[in-house]
Chains A and B, each alone.
Chain A
Amino acid sequence: MTQDIEQRLKQDATTIKTTAAQRLANVDFAKSIEHQLLAQSTKSSHSWLWGMAAAIGLSLMTWLLIENNPTPAIMEPLQLSNTLKEVKQLTHNIEEKVNQPLLKEQQAIIEDFKRLKSQMFSI
C-alpha cells in the first residue's frame, strides 16, 4: 500500500473522530447509559422482590394443602380405619348402583329362557 493511502486512512479517520467528538459533545452518552443501568438494576431488584413474594406464597399454599389433605402415611390408626370403612362403603355403593341392575337383568333373561324352554317342551 502506498504511503498516500496510509496517510489518507489516518487523516480521514481523524475527520470521523472530530465528527464523533462533536456529536458526543451534544449528547451526554455516559449520563444516559448510567440512567439506563440504574433503571435496569432497580428493575432487577424489583423482580427479585416479586420472585421472593411468589416463592413465599407458593410455600404457604403447599403447606396449607398438606395440612388439609393429610396423606395415609401420616394418618392416625383410627383415622385410617375410618377412611378404610368409607372406602369399603363407597365400593359397596358403586357395586349396588352399577352391578346389581346388571345382575337383575341377567337373572330376568335366564328366567325368560327357562320359561320359553318349558313352553317348547310342553308343545
Chain B
Amino acid sequence: MTEQQLIKEAQQGATDCFTQLVASYQLRLYSYLLGRCTHHQEADDVLQETFIKAYQYLSSYNPQWQFSTWLFTIARRTIGKYQAQYHNHQPIDDENWVTKQDPFAVDRENIWQLIKNELNTKSYDVLWFFYVEQYSIKEIAQITQQSESWVKTNLHRSKMKLSNNSALELMLEAH
C-alpha cells in the first residue's frame, strides 16, 4: 500500500493503517523531539500526543503537502503547549538535564543542546528542519507557520550567531 492509500484508509477509521504510518515516521519525529525536549519522558509524551492528534485531525490533512511536514507541524504545536503547561509549574533542574541514569538523554557536548541553550526554540527548529530533515524554505515556512522571508532571515541569523559562538568554537576545537 502506498502512503496516500494508507492515509485514505486511516481517514476511514483503519487504525492498523495509521499504525503503519506511525511506524514509518516515529524515528524522525522522535529524534526531533528528543533533541527539543527537556528529558526523554517529555519526548515520549509529546510523540504519543502528536500521533493521537494526527489521527483525530486526519480528515483535515491536505495531500498537497508532505505527510511528514504535517506531522512536524502538529509536533511543534504539541511540544509548545506541553512545555507551556508543565514548565510553568515545574521548574526544570538544569543539573538533572542529563543524568547518568537516563541513557536516552542528549548529552551536553551535542551541538543541538548548545543551540537549544544559546539560541531559541524557533531557531532550533529552523536549523533542524533545514540541515537534518533537509526541507526547503517553503516547507519550513509551512511547518513553522511563518513567511518564507522569516525563515530565510532566521536561518541566516542563527548561522551568524553560531559562527560567532565561543562555546561552539571550544566544542569544535575539542573535537
Residues of A in contact with B (beta carbons under 8 Å apart)? 1-2, 4-6, 8-10, 12-13, 15-17, 19-24, 27, 29-34, 36-38, 40-41
Question: Which residue of chain B is the closest to A1 with respect to CB atoms?
Answer: B159
CB distance from B66 to the nearest CB of A (A): 19
Nearest B residue to A26 via CB reads: B104
Closest chain A residue, CB of each to CB of B40: A23
Q: Mark B15-51, 1 if CB is under 8 A from A, else 0.
A: 1101100110011001100110000100010011001
Q: Chain B: interface secondary structure?
A: helix
- Are A30 and B16 in contact, CB atoms less than 8 angstroms apart? no
Q: In the complex, are the beta carbons of A29 and B48 less than 8 A apart?
A: yes
Query: Which of A1, A8, A15, A29 sits near B26, CB closer than 8 Å?
Result: A29
Q: Residues on B close to A: CB < 8 A?
A: 13, 15-16, 18-19, 22-23, 26-27, 30-31, 34-35, 40, 44, 47-48, 51-52, 55, 103-104, 106, 110-112, 127-128, 131-132, 159, 162-163, 168, 171-172, 175
Name the residue on B nearest A21 (C-beta). Answer: B27
